[in-house]
Structure 1
Amino acid sequence: MKLSTPRYTFCLFFQLIFMLCDLLFNCVSLFPRSRDGLLVLFIFQDLFLVLSITTMLMTFFSTYLFQAGLVEVLARKFRAAGAVCAAYVLASVALHAAWLLDKWAEPESVSTPLLICLFTLQRCLSPWYYFFYKRAALRVSDPRFYEDIDWINQQLQAH
């Protein structure tokens, strides 16, 4: 697999930066004691998640498959990545909302079972998110998604 254009290299660079930022925010979110610190961290983490998903969608939209209206082939190839990314984003937002509601009600409170469950779910999904997101970002760089008509015809006949 090779990178097809300098623009794609630029997108891939930012996708990896956004993923690294998410990993850093996951690590750092354990340390702030203040509600305001948590709020700022979670806003930035969610912002970087939205930016990473937006960047991935931009790379999908720039493929020949998408532009030719063959979205079902693209969706079939990246179904797992899409499902894992959606699950991770939902788990992250749910964790952040529950954590902030818990801390806003009582700053010195001990974690509730719901918060522990959401925290565990989000942290267990994170390696899967990093793996599938990076894999999708690298797979979409395949030049066949941009120009190979014979390969596209084979994909349409396979389904």
Structure 2
Amino acid sequence: MKLSMPRYTFCLISQITFLLCDLLFNCLSLFPRSRDGLLVLFIFQDLFLILSVTTMLMTFFSTYLFQAGLVEVLIRKFRAAGSVTAAYVLASVLLHAAWLLEKWGDSEAVSSPLIIVLFTLQRCLSPWYYFLYKRAALRVSDPRFYEDIDWINQQLQAH
């Protein structure tokens, strides 16, 4: 099954939209008005992270490489993007959980060292996540991933 141009365009636009929403939520979380507002913000941010990962996985699953069982080639090509995405999602969820637990107990509490470390980690990972995720979304559009050609054999012989 080849990834059609309209379908790929929809997936790419969705992925870029999810990244922009995540960036917006990261900016808005700096100015929480209330605990409830922060909770809603974090729920939406985590939802968009899940949707972005799901969309990327759908594009991987539609490649010829995946359908032919050559998953190791995909893993090798997109290892960095997958690793950083997993780390970013984990850091985001941990930050959101810790931040909400702290704010729910005392909304006027000063941030703990754990929150500061998680916040710094999540914010340091975010540019890498945005860059590698966008690059992976663009790279997976390469027609070589959707055809049975010599390129696939070369990739298999490379390792």
Q: Secondary structure at the match of 1:46?
A: helix
Corresponding letter in the other structure for 2:72: E
The AA in structure 2 aligned to 1:59 is: T
1:104 and 2:104 aligned = yes
Aligned counterpart, 1:35 = 35
Q: What is the distance in 2 between the residues matched to 1:149 and 1:4?
A: 18
Q: Is 1:58 the counterpart of 2:58 in the alignment? A: yes
Provide the C-alpha distance between the structure 1 equivalents of 2:11 and 2:33, rounded to a whole number of angstroms: 35
Structure 1 window deviating more from structure 2 (143-152 vs 48-57): it is 143-152
1:30 CA drift (Å): 1.0
RMSD over aligned CA atoms reads 1.0
> Would you say 1:129 and 2:129 are equivalent positions?
yes
CA distance in 2, matches of 1:16, 1:148: 29
The residue that corresponds to 2:157 in the other structure is: 157
- Structure 1: state its 5+ residue gaps: none
Query: Scaled by the length of structure 1, what TM-score is found?
Result: 0.97
Deviation at 1:148, TM superposition (A): 4.3
Asked if structure 2 preserves the Cα contact closer than 8 Å seen for 1:59 and 1:140, the reply is yes
The one-letter code sitting in structure 2 at the alignment partner of 1:82 is: G
User: CA separation in 2, counterparts of 1:19 and 1:157?
Assistant: 35
Structure 1 residues 40-86: Cα deviation after superposition (integer angstroms, max 9, x where no partner): 00000000000000000000000000000000001110000000000
Which consecutive segments of 4 or more residues in structure 1 shift more than 3 A? Answer: none
SS class of match (1:66): helix
Partner of 1:93: 93
Answer whether contact 1:4 1:141 (CA < 8 A) is retained. Answer: no
TM-score (norm 2): 0.97
- In 1, the alpha carbon distance for the partners of 2:72 and 2:32 equals 44
Aligned to 1:117: 117
Q: Number of aligned pairs? A: 157
What letter matches 1:36 in structure 2? D
Mean Cα deviation higher: 144-153 or 79-88: 144-153
**Equivalent residue number for residue 146 of structure 2:** 146
Q: Which runs of 5+ in 2 are unaligned?
A: none
Contact 1:4–1:142 at 8 Å: present in 2 too? no
